[in-house]
Amino acid sequence: MKPVAHDLKILLIVALVSLVTACGGSGERKAKYMAEGKQLFDAGDYKKAQLSFKNVLQIDPKDIEARFQMAEASSKLGELQSAVSQYLAVINEAPKHLMSRLRMGQVYMLVKKIDEAEKMAKEVQALDPQNVEGMVLMAGVLASRNNTDAALTQIDAALKKQPDDVSANMLLASLNAKMGKIDQAISILQKNSEKNPTKTVPLLMLAQLYSETKALDKAQEALESIIKLEPKQVGHRKTLASFLLSNNQMDNAEAVLRSAIKDLPDDIAAKSLLIEFLIAKRTPEIAIAELVPMIEQNPDQYDLRFMLAELEMSQKHPEKAEGVLKEIVTLDKQGPESIKARNKLAKLYATTKREDEAKALVKQIIEENPRDADALSLRGEFALADRKIPEAINDFRAVLVDQPQNIRLLKLLSSAHMMNNDPVLAQENMEKIIAIAPNDESAKLDLATLLQQTGATDQAMQQIDAVLKANPNSKLGLETAYKVYMAKKQWDKAQETTKRLAEAFPNEGIGYFLSGLAYQAEGKIDQSVPAFESALAKQPDAVEPMTQLIKSYLALKQPDKALAKLKEVIKQQPKNFVAYNLLGGVYLGDKKYPEAMDAFKKAVAIKPNWSIPYRMIAMAYVAQSNKADAIKTYQEGINKTEASMDLVNDLAGIYHSNGERDKAIALYEDALKQHPESMEIINNLASYLSDFGDDAGLERAAKLVEPLTKTNNPNMLDTAGWVAYKQGNFAKAQELLLKVIALDPDSAISNYHLGMTHYKQKNNALAREFLQKAMDKKVDFIGQDVAKETLKSISAAG
Comparing C-alpha atoms, which of 250, 284, 290, 285 is closest to residue 270?
290
In this prediction, residue 514 carries a pLDDT of 98
In this prediction, residue 25 carries a pLDDT of 57
Kindly state whether residue 115 falls inside one of the protein's structural domains: no
The dihedral sign for the CA sequence 328, 330, 331, 335: positive
- 661-703 confidence digits (pLDDT tens): 999 999 999 999 998 888 999 999 999 999 998 999 999 999 9
Kindly state whether residue 367 falls inside one of the protein's structural domains: no
Average pLDDT on 130-138 reads: 96
Residue 727 sits in a domain whose CATH number is: 1.25.40.10
In this prediction, residue 39 carries a pLDDT of 94
What is the residue-averaged pLDDT of the chain? 93
In this prediction, residue 142 carries a pLDDT of 96
Average pLDDT on 728-739 reads: 96
Tell me phi and psi for residue 676, to 5 degrees: -65, -15
- Please check the confidence at residue 216 and state whether its pLDDT lies above 90: yes
Tell me the C-alpha distance between 410 and 428, whole Å. 10
> Pick the residue with more confidence: 185 or 29?
185
In this prediction, residue 118 carries a pLDDT of 97
8 Å CB contact between 681 and 672: yes
Kindly state whether residue 461 falls inside one of the protein's structural domains: no
- 456-491 confidence digits (pLDDT tens): 889 999 999 999 998 999 999 999 999 999 999 999
- Please check the confidence at residue 281 and state whether its pLDDT lies above 50: yes
In this prediction, residue 3 carries a pLDDT of 38
Tell me the C-alpha distance between 680 and 661, whole Å. 19
**Which residues lie closer than 8 Å to 2 by C-beta, 6 or more apart?**
none
- Please check the confidence at residue 5 and state whether its pLDDT lies above 70: no
Average pLDDT on 632-661 reads: 96
Q: Which residues of 126-137 are buried (b: 16+ CB within 10 A; e: fewer)?
A: ebeeebbbbbbb
Helix or strand run (H / E) with residue 83: helix 80-93
Tell me phi and psi for residue 283, to 5 degrees: -145, 155
Comparing C-alpha atoms, which of 661, 666, 619, 620 is closest to residue 643?
666
Kindly state whether residue 759 falls inside one of the protein's structural domains: yes
Q: Which residues of 180-193 are buried (b: 16+ CB within 10 A; e: fewer)?
A: eeeeebbebbeebb
- Please check the confidence at residue 7 and state whether its pLDDT lies above 50: no
> Residue 400 carries which side chain, given as an amino acid letter?
L
> pLDDT-derived band of residue 10, with 50, 70 and 90 as boundaries?
very low
**Which residues lie closer than 8 Å to 230 by C-beta, 6 or more apart?**
44, 200, 236
- DSSP-derived letter for residue 94 is -
Would residue 643 be called left, alpha or beta, if left means φ above 0 and alpha means ψ between -120 and 50 degrees?
left
HSE-CB for 340 with a 13 A CA cutoff? 13
- Please check the confidence at residue 15 and state whether its pLDDT lies above 60: no
pTM for the structure as a whole: 0.68
The 3-class secondary structure across 781-798, one letter per residue, is CCCHHHHHHHHHHHHHHC
8 Å CB contact between 87 and 104: yes
The dihedral sign for the CA sequence 96, 98, 103, 107: positive
Comparing C-alpha atoms, which of 426, 419, 475 is closest to residue 710?
419
Q: How many domains does the chain have?
A: 1
Tell me the C-alpha distance between 559 and 562, whole Å. 5
Tell me the C-alpha distance between 464 and 441, whole Å. 9
- Helices (H) and strands (E) counted in the chain, each on its own, are 45, 0
8 Å CB contact between 188 and 176: yes
In this prediction, residue 746 carries a pLDDT of 93
- Please check the confidence at residue 137 and state whether its pLDDT lies above 80: yes
Strands (E), 677-747: none
Kindly state whether residue 162 falls inside one of the protein's structural domains: no
> pLDDT-derived band of residue 277, with 50, 70 and 90 as boundaries?
very high
Low-confidence winner among 27-41, 293-307, 464-478 (lowest mean pLDDT): 27-41
> pLDDT-derived band of residue 500, with 50, 70 and 90 as boundaries?
very high
Domain span at residue 721?
Answer: 712-798
Q: Which residues of 67-101 are buried (b: 16+ CB within 10 A; e: fewer)?
A: bbbbbbbbbbeebbebbbbbbebbbeebeebbbbb
> pLDDT-derived band of residue 714, with 50, 70 and 90 as boundaries?
very high
- Please check the confidence at residue 711 and state whether its pLDDT lies above 90: no
Tell me the C-alpha distance between 607 and 748, whole Å. 38
- 164-173 confidence digits (pLDDT tens): 999 999 999 9
Q: In whole angstroms, what separates CA 167 from the centre of its chain?
A: 37
Tell me the C-alpha distance between 205 and 223, whole Å. 10
> Residue 20 carries which side chain, given as an amino acid letter?
V
8 Å CB contact between 664 and 688: yes
> pLDDT-derived band of residue 453, with 50, 70 and 90 as boundaries?
confident
HSE-CB for 175 with a 13 A CA cutoff? 24
In this prediction, residue 19 carries a pLDDT of 36
- Please check the confidence at residue 317 and state whether its pLDDT lies above 90: yes
Kindly state whether residue 46 falls inside one of the protein's structural domains: no
8 Å CB contact between 620 and 594: no
- Please check the confidence at residue 20 and state whether its pLDDT lies above 80: no
Tell me the C-alpha distance between 666 and 424, whole Å. 41
Kindly state whether residue 747 falls inside one of the protein's structural domains: yes
HSE-CB for 432 with a 13 A CA cutoff? 20
8 Å CB contact between 362 and 379: yes
- 579-593 confidence digits (pLDDT tens): 999 999 999 999 999
Kindly state whether residue 797 falls inside one of the protein's structural domains: yes
- 76-121 confidence digits (pLDDT tens): 888 888 899 999 999 999 999 999 999 999 999 988 889 999 999 9
